[in-house]
Homo-oligomer: A and B are copies of this chain.
Amino acid sequence: MAAMHPVRRTVFYVSDGTGLTAEALGHSLLTQFEGVQFTQIRTPFIDSEEKARAVVERINATGESDGLRPILITTLIDHSLAAVVHEADAFCLSFFESFLAPLEAELGQKSSHTIGRSHGSADSLNYQRRIEAINFTLAHDDGVSEHELEKSDIVLVGVSRCGKTPTSLYLAMQFGLKVANFPLIPEDFERRKLPGSLERHRAKLFGLTIQPERLAVIREERRPGSRYAALSNCRYEIAEAERMMSREGIRWLDSSTKSIEEISTTILQELRLG
């Protein structure tokens, strides 16, 4: 019966910050329930009693129109705000309530119960580092000089449009790493060796590859009907790039079936930067 009439539930992520952690958490829980259709609502910056009361009203109104009580996933650090939100007629999973008390006991310390530490401006050094990394990565998205290879934390290699750009931007944004991209082009395959400037930076190199069919679709959008986008050429370039990476001992992976997060995490792990 569940298959015929999928249950619908509304989920509220209630946070005094961005709510991104609550949402990531919730997402990983909800994907475990295939028979339910979830409507997910993130309510960030609930940092005053007034806002907390407004959220409670919204939750209760939603529950009435849904005919089923909403699910709350909360990361409210302030006790009194949490108390207000918990008055809602909802099923509540409270992240700090569940984990902070046992952690206090283990650490033998009271927590500071301070709002907004996670993505706050206290992190401003980290912020600067991320911005610099993003700017570096944007400036080195298509090849780099020797001097700049030196400054990179990671150098991604692979054929044109194999996924280097989004991966490098994610690594910069999430981890503050300076990532340069180095496209492997047909001239490199003809010479049968790695571009000379990369030689000295082997420890930073990581290769990306992609399924030829997918590459052809991506390139076709860019340059319709071109030799560059032709499936036969995509097959040739990818086979040559993979052969070169194997011969040169460069670690690589296929980006076709992985998320940006999975690719990035694998790169950090392989290069021991994690």
Contact = CB atoms under 8 A, between A and B. Distances in A.
A86 to B, nearest CB: 14
A111 interface: yes
A186 interface: no
A269 interface: yes
Interface string A239-274: 000000000000000000111111011100100001
Task: Tell me how many chains of this kind the complex includes.
Answer: 2
Contacts of A79: none
A18 B93 contact: no
Nearest to A141: B138
A178 interface: no
A98 interface: yes
A27 B17 CA distance: 13
Contacts of A151: none
Nearest to A257: B121
A42 B261 contact: no
A187 interface: no
Given A107-B7, A107-B33, A117-B32, A166 B21 contact: no
A124 B264 CA distance: 16
Contacts of A185: none
B18 A166 contact: no
A18 B269 CA distance: 10
Interface in A41-60: 42, 44-45
A45 B269 contact: yes
Given A25-B95, A31-B117, A109 B259 contact: no
A99 B96 CA distance: 12
Interface string A9-44: 100000001111100110111011111100000101
A45 B216 CA distance: 30
A88 to B, nearest CB: 14
Interface string A155-198: 00000000101100110011000000000000000000000000
A118 B173 contact: no
Interface stretch (A126-134, A200-208, A227-235): A126-134
A82 interface: no
B42 A274 contact: yes
Contact of A165 (B2, B134, B165, B266): B134
Contacts of A174: 20
A71 interface: yes
A269 B44 contact: yes
A83 interface: no
Given A21-B25, A98-B98, 4 more contacts: A20-B174, A25-B95, A32-B114, A135-B165
